Amino acid sequence: MVKGGALTLLEQNKNIWTPRKQEDPPVRNSAALDRLRAEIGRLERRSSDAVLPFGDAALDAVLPGGGLARAALHEAAGAGEEAEHGAAAAVFLAGVAARTEGPVLWCARRADLFPPALAQAGLAPDRVVYVAAADDAAVLACLEEGLRHGGLGAAVGELARLPMVASRRLQLAAETGGTLGLVLRRWRRAAEARAFAQPTAAATRWRIAALPAAPLPVPGVGRPRWRLELVRCRGGEAAAFDVEACDGAGRLAVLSDLGDRPAAARGPRAVA
């Protein structure tokens, strides 16, 4: 009686003792895993290498984190309408881009870029992908796409105007791709030059003026010199430096203690 009852109970609850059928292992999506690993690696690189230092103590001391934020937008312009100031700004950004790793995208409207000058600042021609754009809108589109790509060392765009909305899009693209964004402001008219005073979303804004070259003991032209003004720095203050221009590795050298003095002691600065 007990035995039969036990058997009956066992049959009613046989699912308790019967081993569950083992389910098939989930199918691995190797492509999705590869994308995830790549994204994790990109984020790790951004966190471990968040800034690009100039390598000069005076310059790096005025920048939050000790250098230019990599996943951010930065602007540079000549100090006036003269061509030599605009050329100095171009070489300055070339030196910044030279100190990154990987290809560099350079988007421009004018076909007047001189690659040998960029090479003297450390930016080798075989690293640069040049894009000839029809107008500023095309430059903005190419620059934004390059920043979002995530596989570039830096992306450079030459623009006359940079509206706030467009600069915010570029800043977000730089953050998304973890790419250093550089905008070279170029203009032909005084009205375009005045537009540089309008605010943008750039983390830093630089103004470069050409100075007399370094004197030599013999006739010739020495290493170029610049007046380098940091007119805006997110999380920092304005500053100014007299520097020797970029060497073959893209490095600058501060000439004087001008950058060590407070901005008020150097006179008023236009901070946008």
What average pLDDT is seen over the chain? 82
Q: What is the pLDDT of residue 40?
A: 67
Q: What is the pLDDT of residue 132?
A: 94
Do the Cβ atoms of 193 and 163 come closer than 8 Å? no
Least confident window among 8-22, 50-64, 191-205: 8-22
Q: What is the pLDDT of residue 30?
A: 74
Question: 105 or 37: whose pLDDT is higher?
Answer: 105
* Confidence category of residue 8, pLDDT binned at 50, 70, 90: low
Which range among 9-18, 83-92, 125-134, 187-196 has the greatest average pLDDT?
125-134
Q: How far apart are CA 125 and CA 94, in angstroms?
A: 11
pLDDT in tens, 71-94: 999 999 998 766 668 899 999 999
Q: How far apart are CA 66 and CA 110, in angstroms?
A: 34
What does the block give as tokens for 102?
A: 């990987």
**CATH no. of 46-212+220-266:** 3.40.50.300
Residue 249: φ, ψ to 5°? -110, 10
Nearest residue to 249 via CA among 94, 104, 128, 108: 94
| pTM for this entry | 0.75
Question: 84 or 175: whose pLDDT is higher?
Answer: 175
Residue 120: φ, ψ to 5°? -65, -25
| Burial class, 162, CB count within 10 angstroms (exposed 0-12 / middle 13-18 / buried 19+) | buried
* Confidence category of residue 28, pLDDT binned at 50, 70, 90: low
Q: What is the pLDDT of residue 220?
A: 73
- pLDDT at 253 > cutoff 50: yes
Q: What is the pLDDT of residue 107?
A: 96
Work out the percent of the chain whose per-residue pLDDT is above 70: 74
Average pLDDT over residues 236-249: 93
Q: What is the pLDDT of residue 270?
A: 35
Is the sign of the CA dihedral 167, 168, 170, 175 positive or negative?
Answer: positive
Q: What is the pLDDT of residue 167?
A: 96
Residue 182: φ, ψ to 5°? -130, 130
- All structural domains of the chain with their residue ranges: 46-212+220-266
